């Protein structure tokens, strides 16, 4: 494939979920020449969420509809969104970033906002994909309220699984916490609090090989005891899966400071340890990952980029074009 000449921008935004679209909107308002690169349709995980009821200003809105509104708003302020997959973000010795894509395109800028989100680890079992958004979820805060009075299954053994199981008891009549091992990886204090909750039943040494449902959604999870191999059905209205989450930070080919989970550490401007590289949304180390926090991060990042570029121009006397 012939390498094309790099196109130059003020800032390149990688990812067009809520954070990326918000950053693109603010970059447009700031009169920056910005490019947003998204591997799929704009919206990110919004497109995998049926109904959203925790985004301020919208008592209830479909995920795809909110994604469309965000994309339209960003485009109104001149957002340039292209469909492509970023393969590599490289910072050169002269301070500029090269952003290379799967389609052989190359872009250049002095600032990058990484809003590529993350990917929940899947069980890859029958029924998981078929009932995603119809009883299968990867976010208790997002979807828990839809299961009032239901029996639920939570799969996993780390901090997220145990914390989310405890959280779901505010809605569910019963939460079955299913873990493939006897010992949990979650911190002891989190375990103690959750296991003292009378609504939580812990099922150890057990895996979920299949999720079953009908046209209305999930009806039960198949359980398999790892010791005996015996299978049984657990009647639940929903299965929440928390077996891992991988932030999409592997695109940067330099070392960037991160926490134990691989999430990027930023300062209060959303800048990472690499000057000019900003992070917003699910790739960033923080307490919670919601639409509201993503757009808050992105607002700060886009405004900070504008100030960062201005400081570069004033520092070296060069025009950024």
Coil/strand/helix, residue 120: strand
22 is catalytic: no
Q: Strands (DSSP E) along the chain, which ranges?
A: 7-14, 34-38, 51-52, 61-62, 81-83, 86-91, 97-101, 106-114, 118-120, 136-137, 151-155, 174-178, 200-203, 206-214, 217-225, 231-235, 238-241, 245-247, 277-279
Distance CA 162, CA 166 (A): 6
- The one catalytic residue in 143, 166, 282, 297 is 143
- The one catalytic residue in 10, 22, 139, 297 is 139
Let me know the angle formed at the C-alpha of 244 by 239 and 245, rounded to the nearest 5 degrees: 105
- The one catalytic residue in 142, 166, 282, 297 is 142
Q: Give the strand pairing for 7-14 and 34-38.
A: parallel
Distance CA 163, CA 288 (A): 12
3-class DSSP string for 17-60: CHHHHHHHHHHHHCCCCEEEEECCCCCHHHHHCCEECCECCECC
Distance CA 188, CA 138 (A): 23
Active-site amino acid positions: 139, 142-143
């Amino acid at each position: 494939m012939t390498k094309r000449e790099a196109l130059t921008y003020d800032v390149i935004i990688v990812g067009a979920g809520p954070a990326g679209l918000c950053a693109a909107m603010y970059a447009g308002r700031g009169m920056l020449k910005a490019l947003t690169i998204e591997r799929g349709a704009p919206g990110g995980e919004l497109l995998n969420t049926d109904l959203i009821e925790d985004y301020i200003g919208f008592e209830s809105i479909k995920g795809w509809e909110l994604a469309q509104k965000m994309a339209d708003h960003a485009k109104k302020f001149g957002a340039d969104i292209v469909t492509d997959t970023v393969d590599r973000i490289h910072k050169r010795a002269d301070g500029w970033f090269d952003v290379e894509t799967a389609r052989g395109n190359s872009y250049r800028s002095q600032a990058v906002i990484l809003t590529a989100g993350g990917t929940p680890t899947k069980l890859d079992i029958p029924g998981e994909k078929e009932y995603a958004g119809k009883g299968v979820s990867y976010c208790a805060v997002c979807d828990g309220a839809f299961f009032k009075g239901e029996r639920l299954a939570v799969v996993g053994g780390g901090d997220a699984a145990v914390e989310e199981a405890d959280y779901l008891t505010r809605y569910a009549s019963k939460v079955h916490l299913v873990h493939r091992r006897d010992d949990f990886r979650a911190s002891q204090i989190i375990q103690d609090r959750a296991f003292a909750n009378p609504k939580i039943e812990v099922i150890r040494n057990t895996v979920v090989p299949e999720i079953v449902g009908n046209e209305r959604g999930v009806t039960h999870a198949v359980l398999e005891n790892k010791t005996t191999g015996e299978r049984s059905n657990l009647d639940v209205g929903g299965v929440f899966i928390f077996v891992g989450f991988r932030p999409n930070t592997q695109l940067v080919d330099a070392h960037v400071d991160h926490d134990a989970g691989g999430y990027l550490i930023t300062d209060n401007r959303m800048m990472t340890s690499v000057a000019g590289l900003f992070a917003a949304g699910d790739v960033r180390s923080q307490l919670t990952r919601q639409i509201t926090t993503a757009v808050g991060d992105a607002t700060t990042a886009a405004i900070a980029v504008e100030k960062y570029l201005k400081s570069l121009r004033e520092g070296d006397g060069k025009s950024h074009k």
